[in-house]
Amino acid sequence: MNGNSAAALSVDRLSIRFGGVTAVESMTFEVKEGEVLSLIGPNGAGKTSAFNAITGYLPAAAGEVVYRGTRLNGLKPSRIAALGVVRTFQKTSVFAGCSVLDNIRIGLHLQSRQHPLAIILGWPSVAREERRLFEKAREVLQFVGIESRRDDVASSLAYGELRLLEVAVALAAQPTLLLLDEPVAGMNSTETTDFMKMLGRIRALGVTVLLVEHDMKMVMRASDRVVCLNQGRIIADGPPAEIQRHPDVIRAYLGERHARAEG
């Protein structure tokens, strides 16, 4: 695997504006190869905006996003996905009308090249590809642990399963950097624990993870490093234990009085 200290993703003085409102102001941080980095901060701190700008869903007003030497600014989301940067969404987002299996097969889109003419003419290579995709889809479902729901329509899944399916769709795209936007929001503690286990397995695959999450227990347990945002600016960057004690972080979350009491 890659060296521990090499930066996979570097975000350099990134600013995002909506009309006159600045959502993110000159944000700079790096995600190292193989680490789990959490982006935390109060609501409206600009976490999801940063996610959207990194993955091409929002234009950056200024600054640069570079992944493994490739500048991501201005690229389409589909192109960024092809470079190995794949995200999930804050609001549960699956292909609701498709079966679980088809959700994964859609996620596997980049793993197969079927020429439209070959498809229409029914060439055997297409059938071969389809069998291969089916096997791969089963592997992904096994990995996430929802193989028993393979043939069910996605919209019939329970909430916890839906959130697993979302991650499974993203994993099918074979990311080298996975961006998870509040993956355990709304989950009960058992579901969260299961999710943590899966996150461990994802790490073991060598996938770098950038996590946005409000569940502090999960953030502290899962991350190697935490970056805290407030009002569009980075106020702290360090290992979880340090961030927990950081006065600016406490101030951002709990207010001035708590910070003084702690400090």
Partner 1 sequence: MRRAATAALLAFFISIPLWVANLYVLHVLIVTGIFTIAAMSLNLLLGYTGQLSLGHVAFFGIGAYVSSLASLGFSVHLAPDWLVTLGPQPVWLAMLWAIAISGFCGWAIGRISFKVRGAYFVIVTISFAEVVRLVALNWDELTNGPMALNNIPPLTVSIPGLIEFSFIGKVANYYLVLAAAIVAYVVIARLVHSQAGRAMIALKENEPLAMSVGIEVTRYLVLSAVVSAAIAGMAGALYAQYIQIVDPNIFLFIYTVTMVIMVVVGGKGTLAGPIVGGLIFGLLPEGLRSLQIQPELQWVAYGVMMILIVSIVPRGIVPALAHVWNDRVRAKAGPAEASEAGARQAAQ
Q: Which residues contribute to the site for partner 1 (CB under 8 A)?
A: 55-57, 76-78, 81-82, 86-89, 93-102, 105-107, 109-110, 112-114, 116, 119-120, 122, 126, 129-130, 133, 151-153, 156, 169-170, 172-173
Between 129 and 194, CB nearer to partner 1: 129
DSSP for 47-84, please give it.
HHHHHHHHTTSS--SEEEEEETTEE-TT--HHHHHHTT
- Helices 124-144 and 100-107: crossing angle in degrees, nearest 10, is 110
Widest distance between CA atoms in the chain: 73
Conformational region of residue 96, where left means phi above 0, alpha means psi within -120 to 50, and beta covers everything else: alpha
Min dist CB 185 to partner 1, Å, is: 17
Q: Are 95 and 88 in contact (CB under 8 A)?
A: no
Residue 112 three-state SS: coil
Between 174 and 230, CB nearer to partner 1: 174
How far apart are the C-alpha atoms of 140 and 198, rounded to whole Å?
12
Min dist CB 122 to partner 1, Å, is: 6
Residue positions counted in the chain: 263
Min dist CB 50 to partner 1, Å, is: 16
Between 105 and 225, CB nearer to partner 1: 105
Min dist CB 135 to partner 1, Å, is: 15
Between 16 and 100, CB nearer to partner 1: 100
Min dist CB 197 to partner 1, Å, is: 24
Between 50 and 170, CB nearer to partner 1: 170
Residue closest to 171 by CA, chosen among 117, 209, 123, 135: 209
